[in-house]
Each structure stands twice: as structure tokens, then as C-alpha cells.
């Protein structure tokens, strides 16, 4: 079984729901508990049932939803006060994604994205990251799976934020 066959979600690990950066020093468990995960937003449960996952559970680069294939993304109106007040990348929406490649999980897609972008350890800026994300999302499934399978153990986990 592939190490990316099982997605990790906020329901499995409550700390994943908190991909929002701490607004300052001294953030503690109380602050973490005051910023609810996406499951409190109307419509998220229904989209999860259809196979979509909140982007915030996979990356802090929420802008990736803007370039994700249209057929594989959905959104619902954001209702969480912290996100409405502090997050500008999401356009007051909770974005949910599914993999553009049926045999890969969303977690695996992000492993492919980040390891491809960082593959040659060159300096990375916003344009490099944007271009890399767009490039990878245009790949076919065979190429994405081949890239993922050639990664050494540990490199993929480090890149997608899992242990």
C-alpha cells in the first residue's frame, strides 16, 4: 500500500485544522481551540462526502486553489470569524480540492507539487512556485505517479507536512 493512500485530516489529527498562522507570539492551546477547523462551515461535510478535502488541511499556500483544475475544486462561503478577518488568499471562501489524478490522494498531489518545485534546491520565489504548481497540475497521472514513486522515503513526508 502506498504511503499516500490514506489522507490525514483534521478529523484524524486536530492540529491539522490549524494551518492558520499564529497572529503573534504566545499562541497556545486555547488560541488553537478558538480557531475552528473547516468542518464547522456549512457545506464542508457534504463536499467531504463527495471526496473533496479542505486545502487548509494540506498547505498554507491557499492560493493554490486559484490554479487547481476547476473540475476538482469546490468552495463554500467562509463563516469563521478569524478567517474572514485575517485570510486574504481565499476570497472569503473555504476551498476544497480533490486530486486531479484518481489514483493519487490530495496529500500525494501536494507531495508531488512541493518536491518538484524544490527538486534542484535553487532559490525559490513566488513566481517559481506559481509556475511550478501550474506546470505540475498540467501533468498526466502517469507522470505524477512516476515522480512520486521515485522520491526517497522521508523526502515526500517532509515536503507535505506529515511525520
**Angle ∠(86,89,90) on CA atoms, nearest 5:** 90
Q: What is the pTM of this model?
A: 0.75
Taking 3-state DSSP, the helix, strand and coil percentages for the chain, each rounded to the nearest 5, stand at: 45, 5, 45
Task: Count CB neighbours of 69 within 10 A.
Answer: 12
Residue at a domain's end among 98, 117, 138: 98
Task: Name the domain count of the chain.
Answer: 2
Are 75 and 111 members of one domain? no
Residue at a domain's end among 46, 80, 98: 98
Domain that includes residue 33, residue range = 8-98
Along the 163 residues of the chain, how does pLDDT read in single tens digits?
A: 444 444 444 444 433 344 445 544 445 555 555 678 999 999 999 999 999 999 999 998 999 999 999 999 999 999 999 889 888 888 999 999 999 999 999 999 999 999 999 998 888 888 889 999 999 999 999 999 999 999 988 665 433 333 2
Are 53 and 115 members of one domain? no
Are 80 and 117 members of one domain? no
Amino acid at each position: 500500500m502506498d504511503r499516500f493512500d490514506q489522507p490525514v485530516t483534521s478529523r484524524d489529527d486536530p492540529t491539522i485544522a490549524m494551518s492558520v498562522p499564529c497572529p503573534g507570539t504566545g499562541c497556545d492551546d486555547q488560541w488553537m481551540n478558538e480557531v475552528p477547523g473547516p468542518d464547522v462551515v456549512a457545506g464542508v461535510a457534504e463536499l467531504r462526502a463527495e471526496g473533496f478535502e479542505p486545502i487548509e488541511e494540506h498547505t498554507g499556500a491557499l492560493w493554490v486553489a486559484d490554479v487547481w483544475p476547476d473540475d476538482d475544486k469546490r468552495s463554500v462561503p467562509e463563516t469563521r470569524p478569524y478567517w474572514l478577518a485575517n485570510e486574504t488568499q481565499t476570497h472569503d471562501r473555504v476551498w476544497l480540492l480533490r486530486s486531479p489524478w484518481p489514483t493519487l490522494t490530495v496529500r500525494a498531489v501536494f507531495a508531488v507539487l512541493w518536491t518538484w518545485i524544490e527538486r534542484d534546491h535553487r532559490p525559490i520565489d513566488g513566481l517559481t512556485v506559481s509556475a511550478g504548481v501550474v506546470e505540475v497540475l498540467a501533468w498526466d497521472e502517469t507522470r505524477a505517479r512516476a515522480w512520486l514513486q521515485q522520491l526517497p522515503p522521508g523526502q515526500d513526508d517532509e515536503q507535505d507536512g506529515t511525520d
